[in-house]
């Protein structure tokens, strides 16, 4: 696998089995390289100060997630879409990606009404962090370098939250959690259960992270490169489906 350095503070590890990353890493130089002779590279990721690990091998990604490393399984888009070549656009799901799966557990096990009730009761209690919270934080550090130069409007990195949550019933807790972490997200889109694929077509992110395969598949069909984060209670329901 190879390491592509966005700056001295952000390193992207890419498995040699991943082909769709060409869009994401175009123009970046390989700073470090590791040949493992077919063995799992996961043991080296922490030593390499990896901010994000991407692979087409779901077993290695699962191993990395369990080791506490931000990781996702890459899936190619089903059709070609034009992406910005001047701005890196990264879209994240919320629950079980940026945040823990605690609220999703309520939804899966007790239903939508109990989920809304739980979120309203806990509106001012920050959610625990999810597996990609650190990666959003790293992107934020890069953005602040441009903000310090009065280049906020021309920043070459833009982040998006694309969540199935409803803004009215469960969105406040998400925004308050990000604020409590001291993190900014450029755009937050609350879809209230609507499909994510069409909104992703408008955003045109270089990569979209989600914990549920039906969202990944919906994104793929409409031309979005998507990455599955194998974390949280949704994985149990996907395996049993």
Q: Residue 13: phi, psi to the nearest 5? A: -95, 130
Q: Rounded CA gap, 30 and 34, in Å?
A: 11
- The reply to whether 93 belongs to the active site is yes
Q: 59 — phi, psi (to 5°)?
A: -70, -40
54, two tokens:
């991407």
75 closest CA partner among 184, 227, 207: 227
Tokens found for residue 25: 């890493």
User: What is the 3-state secondary structure of 192-234?
Assistant: CCCCCHHHHHHHCCCEEEECCHHHHHHHHHCCCCEEECCCCCH
- CA 36/CA 15 separation, integer angstroms: 11
Give the active site residue among 93, 95, 138, 210.
93
Residues designated as active site: 93
């Amino acid at each position: 696998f190879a390491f592509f350095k966005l700056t001295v503070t952000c390193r992207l590890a890419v498995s040699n089995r991943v082909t769709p990353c060409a869009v994401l890493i175009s123009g970046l130089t390989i700073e470090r390289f590791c040949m493992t002779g077919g063995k799992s590279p996961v043991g080296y990721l922490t030593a390499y100060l990896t901010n994000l690990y991407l692979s087409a091998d779901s077993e290695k990604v699962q191993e990395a997630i369990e080791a506490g490393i931000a990781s996702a399984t890459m899936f190619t888009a089903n059709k070609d879409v034009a992406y910005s070549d001047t701005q890196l656009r990264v879209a994240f799901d919320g629950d079980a990606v940026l945040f823990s799966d605690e609220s999703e557990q309520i939804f899966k096990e007790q239903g939508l009404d109990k989920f809304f009730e739980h979120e309203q009761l806990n509106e001012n209690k920050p959610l625990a962090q999810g597996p990609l919270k650190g990666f959003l934080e790293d992107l934020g550090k890069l953005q602040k370098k441009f903000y310090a130069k009065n280049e906020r409007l021309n920043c070459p990195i833009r982040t998006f939250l694309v969540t199935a949550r409803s803004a009215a019933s469960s969105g406040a807790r998400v925004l308050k959690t990000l604020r409590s972490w001291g993190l900014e997200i450029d755009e937050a889109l609350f879809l209230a259960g609507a499909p994510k694929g069409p909104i992703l077509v408008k955003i045109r992110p270089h990569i979209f992270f989600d914990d549920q395969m039906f969202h990944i598949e919906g994104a793929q069909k409409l031309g979005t490169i998507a990455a599955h984060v194998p974390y949280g209670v949704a994985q149990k329901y996907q395996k049993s489906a």
